[in-house]
Structure 1
């Protein structure tokens, strides 16, 4: 029986670093280097490997991910593994999920420990990602799973995965849903399938999204006693400082400080403005609390309700909606599917 063909696309990140003369870690390893470090890969699949870039994920842009999605669509393989840095993995995997709707697995992985450290996790994560992409259950349910992330022998849905710690080995989790699968020994053990209704509705509404440079989207966190002066500056500035939309990391179930609320309402009149939970995810309230800065008042004033999406993911979705040319009504309806 022939082994599945898995194509690895390397972007850079900690997994692909090596020390320079001072001992500082620099981008340098390519896809072939990553594959050579994991001899067991050849026992799992027929491996193809391609270096797409040597860029840390903190420097990736929307244009890089749109080009990557186009490349993935053109690959003739049974599955694709993307290696990158961890800094923006929760955003890049979600954007790939928005742009791709394929019958083959797409698995994103990375590393927290660089290759010079004892017990570097990059080789193990790459092997796990290839095992996931090659697994019969994953391949059977590839469209139902969407893009997934494999880190530390667990598999997460791109819509839910978050980086919850800056440095520790188990830095990734899906607090809302938990992992989709685990990898004990050399097995992939399914645990659940994600609820894809919102993503399916998003794919249907977005259609084909054009690539190119990203549209600037402001990300604004609400906190105690926030007066909203940066928002005032955005509203007053010519062309709103170039921003085309905004995401508000709101308090609780969808609340803002009263002193900043009138400013937020004027911002929503100037550009599409999405409210998302600063708590990191979970459905927002819609009709519980009254008052000028409550969810009832903000929704009535025209702010778009971001549902269960983390503010980072809401920003990615808003940029994608604007790029696709959706009007305010269509964006409001699309985001409502995520609540």
Structure 2
């Protein structure tokens, strides 16, 4: 039984310091073989790891194209017999890449993403434990069919709900709306709940790479006393907009007609900047409320956070989805 291990860089693979005096701090140095050698107990799993060292990329530099290439490579590994896939990457964008993978992954074999909050030069580095846990999840029968999963700190999170909720804690990842779907307990994978049924939007409609590269989706948070100046000219440069509104989906009243005008020219998706909870649909009725904004043509993202909403909207637009298809996709996933 084998697991395909793809290494993308990030804190989990950083060790040593650069000899370049212009660069300060740890740098990417560890290969997949180095990572494996640092994991106590990995040999006890009896698994063969097929290590694929992808070009090390700090996670802020990852692109949609990187992840599409990764999904294609991982699919080939599964076709060649891998029982599951593990990917190590930086944690800064992990919640977004995991959701992107989840939207595209067509196989029952688990696709597990992990990383580390403490690099190997620090006491209590968490990378080896996270990697071991990820391998165990990738091999576990209960994880089959669940799509992309994020495993850190002995917890298993569904890609749709996971968030990075702390900048540096080893317990940085959580799923505020649902909680973890599983735990690692005494070397066993214990799944305690099933994620929502997977919505497969792109199996029969591949994403056009050229169209994806040309598709721009803005994400704009609404702030106190917002004058909307950031939205000027947006329709000339972007094909879609995600608005991170107050609370259950509110904006200042002066912003409502601006967003309505944009919604006539492009899909505008309404999310909450709160970090948990759903956008409402019809509780409040004032100008700038969720009811008013939906009436003006904004798309309700439900429980999808702004970052995941942007991932979904860009993929939909790159796949040529019409306005009603965009609305339907958010209804099904949010």
Partner of 1:94: 99
For residue 279 of structure 1, report the CA deviation from its aligned partner: 1.1
| SS of residue in 1 equivalent to 2:281 | coil
Does structure 1 residue 59 correspond to structure 2 residue 61?
A: yes
CA distance, structure 2, for counterparts of residue 63 and residue 284 of structure 1? 30
Find the partner of 2:282 among 287, 302, 325. Answer: 287
CA distance, structure 2, for counterparts of residue 135 and residue 233 of structure 1? 50
Partner of 2:225: 225
Does structure 1 residue 15 correspond to structure 2 residue 12?
A: yes
Does structure 1 residue 35 correspond to structure 2 residue 36?
A: yes
For residue 287 of structure 1, report the CA deviation from its aligned partner: 1.3
CA distance, structure 2, for counterparts of residue 31 and residue 210 of structure 1? 31
Find the partner of 2:295 among 295, 300, 307. Answer: 300
For residue 39 of structure 1, report the CA deviation from its aligned partner: 4.6
For residue 201 of structure 1, report the CA deviation from its aligned partner: 5.3
Cα deviation, 1:240-289, whole Å, max 9, x if unaligned, reads 2x322110001121111111111111222222111111112433211111
Q: How does 1:90-129 map to 2 (within 5 A)?
A: 90-129=95-134
CA distance, structure 2, for counterparts of residue 19 and residue 264 of structure 1? 49
- Where does the alignment leave 5 or more consecutive residues of structure 1 unmatched? none
TM-score by length of 1: 0.91
The number of equivalent residue pairs is 324
TM-score by length of 2: 0.93
Does structure 1 residue 137 correspond to structure 2 residue 142?
A: yes
| SS of residue in 2 equivalent to 1:337 | helix
- Where does the alignment leave 5 or more consecutive residues of structure 2 unmatched? none
CA distance, structure 2, for counterparts of residue 132 and residue 149 of structure 1? 10
Q: CA RMSD in A?
A: 1.6
Does structure 1 residue 80 correspond to structure 2 residue 85?
A: yes
CA distance, structure 1, for counterparts of residue 318 and residue 261 of structure 2? 23
Contact 2:103/2:200, CA 8 A, preserved across alignment: no
Runs of 4+ in 1 over 3 A off after TM superposition: 201-204, 211-214
CA distance, structure 1, for counterparts of residue 192 and residue 140 of structure 2? 14
Q: How does 1:152-167 map to 2 (within 5 A)?
A: 152-167=153-168
For residue 136 of structure 1, report the CA deviation from its aligned partner: 2.9
For residue 208 of structure 1, report the CA deviation from its aligned partner: 2.1
Q: How does 1:168-179 map to 2 (within 5 A)?
A: 168-179=169-180
